[in-house]
Structure 1
Amino acid sequence: MSDLDIYSYIGFIGTACIIGAYAYLTYVDKPNPFILHGTNLIGAALLTVSLMVHTNWPSLVLEGFWAAIAVFGIIKALRSRSKRDKSVA
């Protein structure tokens, strides 16, 4: 087995982010969408960095979709917050 390089460690941190976000979603009754989707987006970005060096095409495609879903979730949360702010004002 070869030694792990910096890109492998970056990938492990990305994996930890995605697993952490899923655990957060599971354990918290009302998860903050910015924490949830932001953590997923950071995880996908870090895994993408790793996968650009240690290319695994199916995983790279998966991270692209994972990031897109996270961005959509953040946009949805921003719109929801904007609507909520307008209704309060």
Structure 2
Amino acid sequence: MDIVFEVIGWVGTVLLIAAYFLLSIGRIPNGRAYQLFNLFGAIGLLINGAVHGAWPSVILNIVWSGIGIFSLIQLARKQRVTPTETPSADSATI
């Protein structure tokens, strides 16, 4: 069973590094994909840290997960509130 928690930790590490790298080179924006990578990466490291008793890492990844969840909620609210664009009277041709 120990190998499962090691794999979870390594997958979390890869997700966090991939998110940062992809954002840094402009392949993904700071949006839903980036926040999901961060959230699941932090959860993986949180689980691994808890199994190994690495409590500073666990606390860090609880906070990191919270930031990811908060950001995803903000993005969802922003998408719901933003109305679809409608042509204005100024842009109509006669």
Query: What band does the TM-score fall into relative to the shorter chain?
Result: 0.7 to 0.9
Please tell me whether residue 35 in structure 1 is matched to residue 36 in structure 2.
no
Please tell me whether residue 61 in structure 1 is matched to residue 76 in structure 2.
no
**Cα offsets for 1:16-66 (capped at 9, x unmatched):** 101111112111266151101111111111111211211101100000110
Please tell me whether residue 88 in structure 1 is matched to residue 88 in structure 2.
no
Q: TM-score, normalised by structure 2?
A: 0.79
Corresponding pairs, count: 84
1: distance between equivalents of 2:27 and 2:40?
Answer: 22
2: distance between equivalents of 1:32 and 1:65?
Answer: 18
- What is the identity percentage for the equivalent residue pairs of Structure 1 and Structure 2? 31
Q: Which has the higher contact order (CA 8 A, sep 6+)?
A: 1
Paired amino acid for 2:84: V
Moved over 3 A (4+): none
Please tell me whether residue 72 in structure 1 is matched to residue 70 in structure 2.
yes
Q: Is the 8 A contact 2:22 2:28 kept in 1?
A: no
* Equivalent in the alignment of 1:47: 45
* Equivalent in the alignment of 2:88: none
What 5-or-longer segments of structure 1 have no aligned partner? none
- Normalized per residue, the structure richer in helix is 1
2: distance between equivalents of 1:56 and 1:83?
Answer: 41
Tell me the SS of whatever aligns to 1:88. coil
**C-alpha RMSD of matched pairs (Å):** 1.8
* Equivalent in the alignment of 1:24: 22
